[in-house]
Amino acid sequence: MKIAILDDTYGVVRTLPSASLMDGHELSIWQDHTKDVDVLAQRLADTEVLMLLRERTPIPRALLQRLPRLRLITLNGVTPHIDLLACTELGVAVSTHSYVSTATAELTWALMLMSLRRLPREMDSLKQGHWQCAGMGQGLRGKNLGIWGYGQIGQQVAQFGRVFGMQVGVFSREAGLAKARADGFATFGDKAALLAHSDVLSLHVRLAPQTQGCLTYADLCSMKPGSLLVNTSRARLIEDGALVRALAQGRPAMAAIDVFEEEPMRDTDHPLLHMDNVICTPHLGYVELNQYDGMYRDQFERFLAFIDGRPRHIANPEVLTRLRAPA
């Protein structure tokens, strides 16, 4: 079958151990990123199976209508960027499955350590011939770690906090709060209590209409003096423009950011890139070799099950009675 894989930025998919699962199929792999419907329609004109890197590329009806051979879309994660109704109407199955990420939790922890110990500034100053001049750093032991959202990644970060001797507190939906209590962590009934608790606040909330902008400018300004905000989840959880304004006021004192409103973010004038109290990375949370191999292995296995007549994790199951016939 003709399979297209989008957004292989590092050009690693063909080198993954799991790639051997696709022997005998025709792969077209794109390293650059585009949301242009005309470009995508041209690239994917003969595609029968489309494999996506999470939510990076939107798949609207206008594109789907121009892909007459498409039968299956696979991805890991949620599907707000895919027009599921159009997929069903056109006979395209969408298979999605959440893949447990350890890489994002590890990066979250790295960003905390780098921020509090001022590592990027010390590294830059050392290259310029200076010695210990970025200001005294801080450790994590004994500090209060606030976890907003207690899903798979939030749970891992909370356990890291326990190992590092931090006082962990969780704010989440009721199911998450119940799990956090069962795991032996303190819980908070509202975000104000979490913010008042947190020396370090880490966001692990899924972006949805009800969570967009849930952390406001007023919330940020209520954080502790000297506090650190870490966001490896989604940029739009924070009210538009609020983080830059709040950081300029010193609340929070620092931020470590792995996510941006528009990605890829190539604006070298973005204000966060020019603030001494901010560390920015280009959405590296899940970008790690073993993570990639696991994510694509999961997609490859679901594709093989699909063509074997055993579709799995179908987000639009009603399509299974009206699938497009093979080309």
Give Cα 245 to chain centroid, integer Å: 24
Q: Which residues belong to the active site?
A: 234, 263, 283
Q: Domains of the chain, with CATH numbers?
A: 2-100+289-319 (3.40.50.720), 103-280 (3.40.50.720)
**222 vs 218: CA distance, rounded Å:** 6
Kindly write down the DSSP assignment for every residue of 179-198, as one continuous string: HHHHTT-EE-SSHHHHHHH-
8 sits in the region (left: phi over 0; alpha: psi -120 to 50; else beta) called beta
Of residues 319, 307, 279, 300, the one with CA closest to residue 121: 279
Q: What are the pLDDT digits (tens) for 180-207?
A: 999 999 999 999 999 999 999 999 999 8
Q: How would residue 1 be classed by pLDDT, with cut points 50, 70 and 90?
A: very high
Q: For residue 100, what pLDDT is reported?
A: 80
Paired strand residues for 255: 229, 278
Give the H or E element holding residue 220.
Answer: helix 217-221
Mean pLDDT across the stretch 26-36? 96
Instruction: Note if the pTM is more than 0.75.
Output: yes
- Residues in contact with 144: Cβ distance below 8 Å, sequence separation at least 6, in sequence order: 166, 167, 168, 169, 197, 198, 199, 200
Q: For residue 56, what pLDDT is reported?
A: 87
Flag whether pLDDT at 215 surpasses 90: yes
User: Is beta strand 49-51 parallel, antiparallel or unpaired with respect to 2-5?
Assistant: parallel
Backbone angles phi, psi at 187, to 5 degrees: -130, 155
Q: How would residue 278 be classed by pLDDT, with cut points 50, 70 and 90?
A: very high
Flag whether pLDDT at 327 surpasses 80: no
Flag whether pLDDT at 169 surpasses 80: yes
Token duo for residue 78: 């949620």
- Check if the beta carbon of residue 13 is closer than 8 Å to that of residue 19: yes
> CB neighbours (10 Å) of residue 280?
18
Q: How would residue 98 be classed by pLDDT, with cut points 50, 70 and 90?
A: confident
Q: For residue 77, what pLDDT is reported?
A: 87
Give Cα 61 to chain centroid, integer Å: 24
